[in-house]
Structure 1
Amino acid sequence: MSQSTAANRYAKALFQLAQEQNLLNEVTEDLREVKIVLEENNNLFQLLDSPKIDSDKKKAMLSELFASVQPIIVNALKLLVDKKRIHEVVSVIDAFVAQANDAQGVADAVVFSTHTLTDEDKQRISTAFAQKVGKSALHITNEIDASLIGGIRVQIGNQIYDNSVATKLACLERELIG
């Protein structure tokens, strides 16, 4: 995803503030949740970006909706409203998470499986695949994909490790058919 220079600047400032307050892990996790809320609720995002709604009302809405997240996040969201940059909030979050991941030696990974992974499964996958990408750990998001039949597919950035039964069957079919 392409990120604007402004989004990177806001992310860097928020990152530095989170580090100064020793809240990097908490802010990172809260920002992941904020991103999910904004992406899943398109109407909310449209309200926050609407020029018809007063900035004070938008900021009050943000304070109420995100009362359980770190206060520096709510303040950053309010700043984006004031500067008329709320439309870049997802880019700001993505840039922040990338900086936090680099600082912590972590990478984001999506693991596709036929069933929900246990914490133990996630830990084993993190241990096995983190070394392959030169990181100390992975932050795993599990997505269910019944078409895999069995096994898993791991996506870390633009790298995909596919050990699914469906892929193995497709390879076998190509070999047999020629």
Structure 2
Amino acid sequence: MVSGAAQRYAEALFDLALEEGALERVEADFKTLSALSASSSDFRAFLASPVYGADEKARAVAAIAAKAGVSDLVRKFIGVVAANRRLFALEGIIVAFTRRLADHRGEVSAEAVSAAPLNDEQTKRLRGEIERVVGKAVNLSVKVDKDLLGGMIVKVGSKMIDSSLKTKLNRLKSVMKEA
């Protein structure tokens, strides 16, 4: 769930990026930052830590963003977020911005989590099926979670379809305990 503050920051950045014609650039920058955050638990812990001051966090994130080739607009935006001591909300801001951008484009965001990697043909067929059901273009992100054992979980908006083997086994286990 995205906080109200994250939503407001995302909306402000969206309006500014729209005005400057930089929506795609901001989207690419946020994908880069999300990948950095996803690959480093230390980075996420640093952003959430009260041990470091806003200035230290701002300098560190600005240096990382510059090294990653993030645009001036996003670097300045992160500076404002850091100055207001809201860097802990950065992931929520990215999620809210991405949703707002998808809405602007008339797209629906969907996430598929599978037990094994999907090949290009499977991803294309899954995207096509989701588009058929929702009647809109779909921005699909695919992730792998080996803990699912088999099957997949598909999330579209607030709806979720869980056909994973892990869930089916847990249901069977629950039914057997009740019997």
Q: TM-score range by the shorter chain?
A: 0.7 to 0.9
2:110 aligns with: 109
User: How many aligned residue pairs are there?
Assistant: 172
**In the alignment, is the contact (CA less than 8 A) between 2:54 and 2:83 conserved in 1?**
no
> Is the 2:148–2:164 Cα contact (8 Å) retained in structure 1?
no
Q: Would you say the 8 A contact 1:35–1:90 is kept in 2?
A: yes
C-alpha RMSD over aligned residues: 3.3
Sort the Cα spacing of 1:122 and 1:26 in 2 relative to 1 into closer, same or farther, 3 A: farther
DSSP-derived class of the 1:66 partner:
helix
Distance (whole Å) between structure 2 residues aligned to residue 61 and residue 83 of structure 1: 15
Q: What TM-score, normalized by structure 1, do the two folds share? A: 0.75
Write the mapping of 1:1-178 to structure 2, written as runs, cut at 5 A. 1-4=1-4, 6-38=5-37, 40-48=39-47, 49-50=49-50, 52-53=52-53, 55=55, 57-67=56-66, 68-145=69-146, 147-149=148-150, 151-162=151-162
C-alpha contact 1:148 1:167 (8 A) present in aligned 2: no
- Assess if the C-alpha contact under 8 Å between 2:111 and 2:156 holds in 1: yes
Identity of aligned residues (%): 25
Q: Tell which deviates more after alignment, 155-164 or 18-27.
A: 155-164
Q: Is the 8 A contact 2:29 2:70 kept in 1?
A: yes
Q: CA deviation at 1:154?
A: 1.9
Sort the Cα spacing of 1:64 and 1:115 in 2 relative to 1 into closer, same or farther, 3 A: same
Greater Cα offset, 15-24 or 95-104: 15-24
Q: Is this contact kept in 2: 1:112–1:145, CA < 8 A?
A: no
Q: Report the Cα offset of residue 118 of structure 1.
A: 2.3
C-alpha distance in structure 2 between counterparts of 1:132 and 1:110, whole Å: 15
- The TM-score, its normalising length taken from structure 2, stands at 0.74
Instruction: Report the residue type matching 1:69 in the other structure.
Output: V
- Supply the distance in 1 between the matched residues of 2:45 and 2:153 (Cα, whole angstroms): 34
Q: 1: CA distance between counterparts of 2:45 and 2:164?
A: 39
